[in-house]
Amino acid sequence: MQKSLRIRLRNILLAISIIPLSLAALLGIEQNVATQISQAIEQQNEVAIRVAIQTQGYITGAINDLRLLVDIYDINLLTAEEQEKLLINTLSFSPVLETITIADINGNEIAKAGRNEVFRPNDLHNIANTPAFLFQTNDEIYYGELTFAPNTGLPYMTISIPIFDLETGEKSGLIIADLRFQAVWSLMRSAAQNHRSVYMTDLKGQVIAHNVPSTALQGLTYPPPKNGGLLQGLDGELSVLGRGDVYLGNELAFVVITDLPWLRALDASIRFMVIAVALILLTLAAIYFLSRRFTLIFTEPIETLAQTAEKISAGDLGARVSLESEDEIGILAAAFNRMANQLQELLSSLEARVAERTRELATSLEENSKRAKQLASIAEAARTIAQLKDLGDLLPNIAALVSESFGFYHVGIFLLDENERYAILTAANSEGGKAMIARAHKLRIGKEGVVGFAIAEKRARIALDVGEDAVFFDNPELPNTHSEMALPLMIGNDVIGVLDIQSEEVGAFTEEDVEVLSTLADQIAVAIENARLFAQSQETLSELERTFQQYVRTEWKRFIDTSSVKGYVASQTGLQPIQTPLQKDDKAKTDNTSYRVPVKLRDVVVGHVTVNLEKPVSKYTDDELDIINAAVERFTLALENARLLESTRYRARRERLVSEVTTKIRSTNDPDVMVQTAIEELKRILGATKVELQAYQPNEVPGTSTKDEQ
């Protein structure tokens, strides 16, 4: 803890120092790098422009040499040999010119000289169809496109200058020359210093010159940048580029590019960063040693306080801080000593208070444990009770379960009689309680004991010493009872009985017990009510089942009685009716290869199905016989559905006939016609030959009136 505080303070001081120093160094380095890059770009632009001017000077010088031939010498007056010598002389002092050709006004070559080649008269041709002749104007120099020689791969450019007659001033021919760019390569090499690359491209991006000649011969392309800057160079790496433009006439013809790797451009900045980092590290080292000394001075008194606090926490309550300073730490030490004195005095009386509190906690824990056990017992009892549905089994089990779970001497359950005048003891766990049940023990509601009181008041009643309680009804079967608690069993606002609990201890029950056991009483009341409702529902279901079975018997008897066919025999030859009824039986019978299955509807046998098998019944598995039983069940349902459909059709026909007769009778208001219509319709519907209608006077004896016959 002491070292942690010291380290934290030291780290804070270092952080306070490192952050400003780092920010200042980063800002300085950033500014230096930006300045260095800006200067490098400016320097590269200067070199590129200088090389571009020199290159343009080379080309302009060659053009001027050609103009001298036109302006000073009257070439038209010279012979071909003299012209050739003059051209060779011009090539000797002009390094840019590769070949020079003199042609007449019709495009016929008159003289031609080359730097490394000798031309004879047979080598002269007509050049009237070449671009240098076709696109040459009277007063302008023609600049051809950059071309690479097929045999050497070297770049060259063709130019042409008009020749005018000095006397007439008319155009008399052309001077055509091929400019070579090898002479420019030396300019590139001289400018390529300090890891710089210099190269020149045409406007299409073809590299035509490079400080390394082999690079210029590789046919590389590099789109020239619009301006100098920190861009991707010819080799694909980040570089500081400069740009210089070469003009021929008034048109931009070539671009000179200087390429310096960005790390080389930042050499000075890198040296500056190394120096700055070294200075920062030295400064941090000094700050570190100073912070160690400062934190030691500052934290030593605090460490003394911490050591004294540890001694006190270890049990040395007599330990004190010996610091005599007038600053805040001295004040803190004095306050700490006063606090230690108060703590020592407090601890001297704390043990007694702790012991007292421990006793209280033990008592509370015991009570909570008791409540937890009671709640667990209630939950277990509720699960057991919920599984019982029969009231005759439910009540004795409840009494035994409550007595066993809570350890009560006697548990009894009283239920109200039909008139709600007496509470009848219905179940009990004790021998005395069972004896009381045997003699039909009952208590008058509101008159006798805590049970009658609980029912009348609809609330729990406790008798802590039943011998002295005025409402206690003395019971000789339970002589050892000294405490009793009666809990009403309620459904809604109605009391259906009482849970009577008796103990051999005096003052065994408290109000807390009432709250806990009331939950159990409510669950018992619900269980009793559910058992009653379950019994009623079972009785209702049984009655409905009996009624339905009687209905099935009656309907099928009527159906069989009204039908001449009593069954059918199905075989491979077809279906044959049975006219006489078979013997009735409610069980499936087997007889060698015959398997007989009863046809049942709700346990009412309405017929039998006898299946003649190919082999004895004992040779078939239960699964195979179950298939027959399942088929009979489906057949039974289909047969019942057919009977119901036939019955429905019969009732519908009867209702339709009644409706027709009624409609015809109501079609007239004449009584005689109504009687006549009724007799005729009944005769038609019933197929009778005679229908009688007898009328009686109110006081006349039947049989003495007159008859109307039809």
pLDDT digits over 55-82, tens only? 888 888 888 888 887 776 667 677 778 8
Helix (H, G, I), strand (E, B) or coil at 296: helix
Give the pLDDT score at 698: 63
Instruction: Check pLDDT > 70 for residue 637.
Output: yes
Residue pair 113/119 in contact by the 8 Å Cβ criterion: yes
DSSP for 425-461 reads EEEESSHHHHHHHHTT-EEETTTSHHHHHHHHHTS-E
How far apart are the C-alpha atoms of 519 and 487, rounded to whole Å? Answer: 10
Comparing 703 with 622, which gets the higher pLDDT?
622
- Mean pLDDT, residues 248-256: 87
Question: Would you say the C-alpha torsion 685, 688, 690, 696 has a positive or negative sign?
Answer: negative
> What's the whole-number average pLDDT of the chain?
79
Q: Which helix (H) or strand (E) holds 595?
A: strand 594-601
Task: Please state whether 178 falls in left (phi above 0), alpha (psi between -120 and 50) or beta.
Answer: beta
Q: Which residues contact 597 (CB under 8 A, 6 or more apart)?
A: 588, 608, 609, 610, 611, 628, 629, 632
Q: What is d(CA 512, CA 366) in angstroms, rounded to the nearest whole number?
A: 14
Q: Is the pLDDT of residue 282 over 80?
A: yes
pLDDT beyond 80 at 240: yes
Question: Is the pLDDT reported for residue 195 higher than 80?
Answer: no
How many CA atoms does the CB half-sphere of 416 hold within 13 Å? 20
Does the CA dihedral 197-199-203-208 come out positive or negative?
A: negative
Q: How sure is the predictor about 245, in pLDDT bands with cuts at 50, 70 and 90? A: very high
172-191 tens-digit pLDDT: 888 899 888 877 888 888 88
Examine the pLDDT at 314 and tell me if it is beyond 70: yes
* Structure tokens given for 1: 């803890």
pLDDT classification of 472: cutoffs 50, 70, 90: low
639-651 pLDDT, tens per residue? 778 878 878 887 8
**Burial bucket for residue 606 (CB in 10 Å: 0-12, 13-18, 19+):** buried
- At 704, is the pLDDT very low, low, confident or very high (cuts 50, 70, 90)? very low
pLDDT of residue 471: 44
Q: Which residues, including other chains, have CB under 8 Å from residue 676's CB and lie 6 or more apart?
A: 710
> Helices 267-313 & 328-386, crossing angle to 10 degrees?
70
> Average pLDDT of 453-461?
82
Residue 29 pLDDT greater than 70, yes or no: yes
Beta bridge partner(s), residue 489: 497
Enter the pTM of the model.
Answer: 0.41
Q: Beta strands 97-104 and 171-180: pairing type?
A: antiparallel
Question: In which band, very low, low, confident or very high, does the pLDDT at 243 lie, cut at 50, 70 and 90?
Answer: very high
Q: What's at 79, amino acid-wise? A: T
Q: Which segment, 79-83, 445-449, 471-475, is predicted with the most confidence on average?
A: 79-83
Average pLDDT over residues 577-603: 69
Mean pLDDT of the 481-494 span: 85
Most confident of 308-312, 480-484, 573-577, 655-659: 655-659
- Asked if 265 contacts 34 with a C-beta cutoff of 8 angstroms, the reply is no
Name the pLDDT band for 589 (thresholds 50, 70, 90).
Answer: low
- 586 has pLDDT over 50: no
**124 has pLDDT over 80:** yes
Residue 588 has pLDDT above 60, yes or no: no
pLDDT of the residue at 257? 92
Does 670 score more than 70 pLDDT? yes
Whole-angstrom distance, CA of residue 258 vs CA of residue 222:
13
Does the pLDDT value for residue 576 go beyond 80?
no
The pLDDT assigned to 2 comes to 44
Model confidence pLDDT, tens digit, residues 338-380: 777 777 777 777 767 777 777 777 767 766 676 667 667 677 7
